[in-house]
Amino acid sequence: MRNLKKWLAAAFVVAALVGTLALVESVSTKSVVGQEIGPGDHWRNHAGHWSLWNEADRRWYCTDGRHWFYHNGHEWRLYRFDRHFGRTGFVHGNYVPPHEEVKIVLPRHGIFIR
């Protein structure tokens, strides 16, 4: 009987922790990701990764801190600054996109789809 009470108490504590974690995750995700944002450029956090929606190009962009990538609807591709994004209000410095032969590790995370 004593072991049964211990098991039930442990199960109750685990269930309470899982429920609290699910509630916190639900509330925090809705406050950051679930907001409907009107037209225009905006950042979005999805699955722990930040992506930028560019209204002029009508596509998502992200960076790994070294290179910029765009999402073509199926996968991420290296961005060569051939569209509107990065033309104004953006400091390139001496950055030049690498040649086609250079192997770059592309991001693997998804994008937010309404």
Domain match, 27 and 50 both: no
CA nearest neighbour of 84 among 64, 48, 57, 47 = 57
How far is residue 22 CA from its own chain's centroid?
A: 19
Report the distance separating Cα 7 and Cα 13, nearest Å.
10
Evaluate whether 40 touches 55 at the Cβ level (below 8 Å): yes
The single residue listed with the structure tokens 């990065």 is 86
Tens of pLDDT, residues 58-109: 999 998 888 999 998 889 999 998 888 888 877 877 888 888 888 888 887 8
Angstrom CA distances, 7 to 1, 2, 11, stand at 10, 9, 6
Tens of pLDDT, residues 7-42: 887 778 777 777 777 777 665 544 444 445 567 888
Q: How many CB atoms are closer than 10 A to CB 65?
A: 5
> What's the distance, Cα to Cα, between the start and end of the chain in Å?
52
What residues contact 102, with CB distance under 8 A and at least 6 apart? none
Domain match, 73 and 106 both: yes
Which range of residues forms the domain containing residue 63?
A: 37-114
Domain match, 28 and 41 both: no
Domain match, 16 and 67 both: no
Domain match, 100 and 50 both: yes
